[in-house]
């Protein structure tokens, strides 16, 4: 299935593009991945390619100290910028969290900070590894003619195939949403033109695509080992609202004062936020945080979601019609999204919460105290939230978005 690219064009500064009209965009992942940069950038690519080995040997910070300060002027086009940002983002997270929560740093060296911030500004993204980097842009095909069996990742952290599985399964979950994303412009058009039949069909497509996302999520069990997933969780941790780095991180040569940014998380998924906006789901307790997460999405993704949010209300339209078929189709979408979020909680419990608890117990059995950094990194999401509490709140709010029997029998005017 062809996947269109809906990513921001290269620009200077953080100026916003004009918000585009809604159009069919089969998924948010990058459709064609750049895998190589000009030889000039070999110092970046070599370090990023050997990241697991360098981190495990506690050699990454030493290697970064040897890196030259390179200019970004030889990067050509959006895809090279995205690849360079991806490599520098992985290096940055490895550099900061090489020692877990025990040996944090306060300064990101100039040779890493300056080009990373320059490229991030051009792409209108914050200088930290986000979901759009490590999931949407961190993949390639070994064989251009193959699909799932030929997928691989570009960069990783320690953890072997579990890392690969986490990133690729997340990518496949996003790809499974293609039909649902493609149905959104059809839904908006049906509302504007009172096309009840086409609206019901499009809603069925959305529900089915969300169900396919859940099925794709199940592939995580093929790849993951709980201990390795917990390790990956550590390397995705933010330096905002994090007592291990209370002031944040100084980007040497860019800002004199420390800056704080959230790490990558599923809350930055443009797909999930699109479905929330489409279905009129208001996560009151987490709305401010989710709104902030849009700043960690590519500019065109943010624009798409904003355009959808400023359009006609699907929920109110379905209620106004009094049509039983539309009510049922709408509720199937909500139910599928709630089920997906429940499954996410199960996965987080199995692969993060339980292993973290075992890690603390093992440390206590060995006669040592539990390091406070390990405890915090296990309890907080990569985006800086108390993640289990957050996931459950989001799931519960989604369930409450179902149209009730009373609403379904009393048309609004």
Specify the pTM.
Answer: 0.85
Report pLDDT digits (tens) over 311-326: 999 999 999 999 999 9
pLDDT value of residue 337: 98
Is it the case that residue 3 has pLDDT exceeding 70? no
* Per-residue pLDDT at 141: 86
Q: What share of the chain has pLDDT > 70, as a percent? A: 80
Q: Quick one: pLDDT band at residue 17, thresholds 50, 70, 90?
A: very low
The full set of domain ranges for the chain reads 39-409
Residues 145-178 have pLDDT tens digits of 656 568 899 999 988 777 888 899 999 999 999 9
Mean pLDDT of the chain: 84
Binding residues for heme b: 344
* Tens-digit pLDDT profile for residues 338-385: 999 999 999 988 887 777 666 666 555 555 444 444 444 445 544 445
- Top-confidence residue, 412 or 110: 110
- Binding-site residues, please? 344
The predicted-structure confidence for 205-242, as pLDDT tens digits, reads as follows: 999 999 999 999 999 888 756 555 556 667 878 899 88
Fold (topology level) of 39-409: Methane Monooxygenase Hydroxylase; Chain G, domain 1 (1.20.58)
Half-sphere exposure of 276 (CA within 13 A, CB side): 25
């Amino acid at each position: 299935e062809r996947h269109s690219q809906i990513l921001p064009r290269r620009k200077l500064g953080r100026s916003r593009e004009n918000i585009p009209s809604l159009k069919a965009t089969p998924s948010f992942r990058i459709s064609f991945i750049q895998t190589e940069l000009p030889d000039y950038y070999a110092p970046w690519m070599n370090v990023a390619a050997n990241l697991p080995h360098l981190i495990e040997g506690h050699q990454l910070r030493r290697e970064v100290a040897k890196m030259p300060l390179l200019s970004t002027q030889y990067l050509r086009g959006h895809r090279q910028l995205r690849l360079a940002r991806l490599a520098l983002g992985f290096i940055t997270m490895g550099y900061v969290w090489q020692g877990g929560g025990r040996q944090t740093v306060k300064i990101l060296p100039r040779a890493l900070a300056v080009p990373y911030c320059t490229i991030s500004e051009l792409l209108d993204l914050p200088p930290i590894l986000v979901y759009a980097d490590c999931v949407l842009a961190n993949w390639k095909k070994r064989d251009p003619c193959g699909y799932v069996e030929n997928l691989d990742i570009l960069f990783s952290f320690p953890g072997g195939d579990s890392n690969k599985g986490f990133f690729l399964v997340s990518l496949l979950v996003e790809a499974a949403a293609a039909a649902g994303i493609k149905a959104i412009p059809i839904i908006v058009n049906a509302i504007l033109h009172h096309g009840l039949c086409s609206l019901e069909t499009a809603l069925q497509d959305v529900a089915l695509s969300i169900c396919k996302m859940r099925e794709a999520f199940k592939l995580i069990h093929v790849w993951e080992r709980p201990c390795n997933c917990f390790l990956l969780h550590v390397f995705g941790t933010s330096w905002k609202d994090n007592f291990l780095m209370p002031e944040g991180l100084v980007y040497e040569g860019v800002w004199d004062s420390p800056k704080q940014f959230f790490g990558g998380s599923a809350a930055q998924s443009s797909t999930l936020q699109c479905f929330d906006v489409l279905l009129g789901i208001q996560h009151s307790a987490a709305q401010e945080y989710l709104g902030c997460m849009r700043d960690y999405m590519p500019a065109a993704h943010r624009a798409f979601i904003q355009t959808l949010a400023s359009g006609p209300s699907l929920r109110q339209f379905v209620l106004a019609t009094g049509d039983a078929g539309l009510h049922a189709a709408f509720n199937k979408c909500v139910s599928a999204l709630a089920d997906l979020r429940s499954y996410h909680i199960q996965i987080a419990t199995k692969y993060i919460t339980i292993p973290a608890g075992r890690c603390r117990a093992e440390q206590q059995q060995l006669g040592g105290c539990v390091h406070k950094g390990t405890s915090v990194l296990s309890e907080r999401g990569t985006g800086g939230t108390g993640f289990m509490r957050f996931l459950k709140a989001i799931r519960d709010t989604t369930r409450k978005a179902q149209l009730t029997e009373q609403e379904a029998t009393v048309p609004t005017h």
